[in-house]
Amino acid sequence: MNRWEDEATLPTLDMRAADYVERRDSGSWTEKDEAELEAWLTESVAHRVSFLRLNSSWRRTERLVALRSPDNGPDASPDSHRGTRYLKIAAVFGMFLGLGGFLITYFTTPRVETYSTPVGGREILTLKDGSRIELNTNTSVRVALSSKKTRGDSRKGRSLFRSPP
């Protein structure tokens, strides 16, 4: 004979006990709930052993908190996650700022290149921006090419600069 007949079946009894276990461990548990649980537990030993058994394994699941990491946090709430989320947003924002800064510097800082001809040599260069430089023999020029302007300095010899057509 089963001794938990009032609950019909063991699964039904266990479901009810599990419900008490979980609610008792939440913030919404009241004095009234405790009284109700007490009445239920004293009703039969079957209720009590079921509750004890589920409560004991429930407490073991306490360790599951260790699985919580900022990466697997639920998207909405809880509050404790909000801080790290803002931090993340800030980090991404900062990354973009850094990348932007780099790109701006990269494109605005002129790249300096030196072209030269040996004695007896003669060279006509076409630069990226379309300007042309004619280098006479034994000549050296430094060209600073940025997105906005091109600067050329004659280091030695003779050269002819022509702006883009």
Residues of this chain that bind another protein (CB under 8 A): 2-4, 10-11, 13-16, 18-19, 21-29, 34-35, 37-38, 41-42, 45-46, 48-68, 72-74, 76-78, 80
If the CB atoms of residues 22 and 153 are measured against another protein, the closer one turns out to be 22
C-alpha to C-alpha distance for 96 and 102, rounded to whole angstroms: 10
If the CB atoms of residues 66 and 119 are measured against another protein, the closer one turns out to be 66
Nearest distance from residue 89's CB to another protein, in Å? 20
- The label of the residue with tokens 């050296």 reads 140
Nearest distance from residue 12's CB to another protein, in Å? 10
Nearest distance from residue 107's CB to another protein, in Å? 45
**What beta strand segments (E) does 11-146 contain?**
111-116, 123-126, 132-135, 140-145
If the CB atoms of residues 14 and 134 are measured against another protein, the closer one turns out to be 14
In terms of Cα–Cα distance, which of 162, 164, 152, 165 is closest to 115? Answer: 152
In terms of Cα–Cα distance, which of 83, 145, 138, 81 is closest to 111? Answer: 145
Nearest distance from residue 87's CB to another protein, in Å? 18
C-alpha to C-alpha distance for 130 and 28, rounded to whole angstroms: 76
Q: What is the DSSP letter of 130?
A: S
Residue 82, amino acid: R
If the CB atoms of residues 26 and 105 are measured against another protein, the closer one turns out to be 26
Nearest distance from residue 38's CB to another protein, in Å? 3
If the CB atoms of residues 10 and 160 are measured against another protein, the closer one turns out to be 10
- Number of neighbours of residue 159 by Cβ within 10 angstroms: 21
C-alpha to C-alpha distance for 82 and 88, rounded to whole angstroms: 10
